[in-house]
Structure 1
Amino acid sequence: MTRTVDDLRNEIRVAVGRYERIESTGFTKESLAAICEALDHDVETNPFPPKAEMRAGIRSTIDGLDDDPDSADRPFRKAELEAIEETLRDQPR
């Protein structure tokens, strides 16, 4: 069965120690910061940087993802979520 965008987001949340969400929603700043940390991308946490900045940092650490600055202003697309989930799954815990 094909995983939905919501399924992928929840798998990523769980992989970085965050909670699954029942409702369909994008990543919070806290979740994005946890993903950055899991990918060894330094991010300030007090206060959190803008979401676009954290998404750009995540894209820059994963091979094959477009790190075009314009893409940082939008949520991750399904293919990007799949690449993020795969990268996190392949990392030692």
Structure 2
Amino acid sequence: MSPTVDDLRNEIRRAVGRYERVESTAFTKEALAAICDAVDDDIEANRLPPKSRMRAGIRHRVGLADGDDPDRSGGPFRKAELEPIATALRNE
């Protein structure tokens, strides 16, 4: 049986040192910042960029997008995007 979206999100959270969530929720800004750090996407340390910018950077770093333009990156991660993110973090 393949992992659910919640399973994948929690695996990613554990991989970057964040806590698991019991309920189904998207990533917080802090969790996205931790994922950015884990995939070597540079963000400003003193002020977190918008979620769309961080998601775009993550997509770019794991090979899901050609660029990191937040206007073209789409919204929250879908299952098909969470799987390569989790794989990239497993290989870290």
TM-score by length of 1: 0.88
CA shift in 2, pair 1:26/1:67, >3 Å? farther
Aligned to 2:65: 66
Structure with bigger helix share is 1
Moved over 6 A (4+): none
Number of matched pairs: 90
Extract unaligned runs of 5+ from structure 1: none
1:2-41 matches, cutoff 5 A:
2-41=2-41
Q: How far, CA to CA, are the matches of 1:77 and 1:16 in structure 2?
A: 19
TM-score by length of 2: 0.89
The share of aligned pairs that are identical, in percent, is: 64
CA displacement at 1:85 relative to structure 2: 0.1
Alpha-carbon RMSD: 1.4
Extract unaligned runs of 5+ from structure 2: none
CA displacement at 1:71 relative to structure 2: 4.7
SS in 2 for 1:21: coil
